[in-house]
Homo-oligomer: A and B are copies of this chain.
Amino acid sequence: MTSPAFILVTPQMGENIGAAARVMGNFGLPDLRVVDPRDGWPNLKAESVAVGSPVLKNATLTYTLDDAIGNLTRIYATTARPRGMEKRVLTPREAMAEARAATEAGEAVGILFGGEKSGLPNEAVSGADAIITLPVERDFSSLNLAQTVGVLAYEWRAGDPAPDDFEPVSDPASKADMERLYDHFIEELDRAGFFHPPEKTPLMVNNLRAALARARFTEQEARTFRGAIKALALGRGKARIVRED
């Protein structure tokens, strides 16, 4: 990949999908991925508004976010709302300069955009490497989806240099690896009775995801960590057996 994928997560209006595809075409971003759009696929309104953008013709449809991001190694989540997660918050310019540096270092980068009604789900944000927040007015902050895409596409094209402190990770874990790791970790914690009280489970899960996402594991580290989880789970089982004896 020589440019980031833009991923629309459960978008509602075809007009916005089409306008996103059009402006991505204007600014030279070919890789649009659409996750579970409300009105199905293909979408005639999207086609009408895209005015022949090749980006819409080549867009990828998936039914889950995991399928859309599996082959990526670095993800930015656009969100206006602070989510109470420990996560870097970048401007569009900072994020796209970093995305450029990461792409040039061989990473596969994606930018997540939430649907019109409720934005990105918490688990999409918690797994991201950083948050992008646009500098909007507090009292009139709701940006149109395609405008958000337009600003990010423009910033990609504007081509700012990489930040001085950017350090590429070599052989970064893919998001598919990371999702498997999170699932495994959460599952074993759940078995061990870690999530308590139950109503706090989603919050605890997202805090754990956010904490691990910050580590930016390599492929090898992700494998090692999964081995560690397995060992702890088995050890716990053994310990219980010992106690039960």
In the complex, chain A residues 120-177 whose Cβ is within 8 Å of any chain B Cβ: 134-137, 140-144, 146-147, 150-151, 154, 157-159
Chain B binder among A23-31, A32-40, A96-104, A199-207: A23-31
Q: Please name the residue on chain B nearest to A146 by beta carbon.
A: B147
CA of A141 to CA of B19, assembled, Å = 14
A23 touching B158 by the CB < 8 A rule?
no
CA of A75 to CA of B154, assembled, Å = 22
Chain A interface residue bracket vs B: 20 to 34
Q: Please name all residues of chain B whose beta carbon is closer than 8 Å to the beta carbon of A91 when the two chains form the complex.
A: 158
> Taking the complex as formed, is A93 at the interface, i.e. its CB lies under 8 A from any CB of chain B?
yes
CA of A137 to CA of B30, assembled, Å = 11
CB<8 Å pairs between A and B, sample of 12: A19-B147, A25-B140, A26-B136, A26-B137, A27-B136, A93-B158, A134-B154, A135-B158, A147-B147, A147-B150, A150-B151, A154-B154
**4 more CB-based (< 8 A) A-B contacts, given A19-B144, A93-B158:** A23-B143, A26-B141, A27-B136, A147-B147
Residues of A within 8 A of B (CB): 19, 22-23, 25-28, 51, 53-54, 91-93, 134-137, 140-144, 146-147, 150-151, 154, 157-159
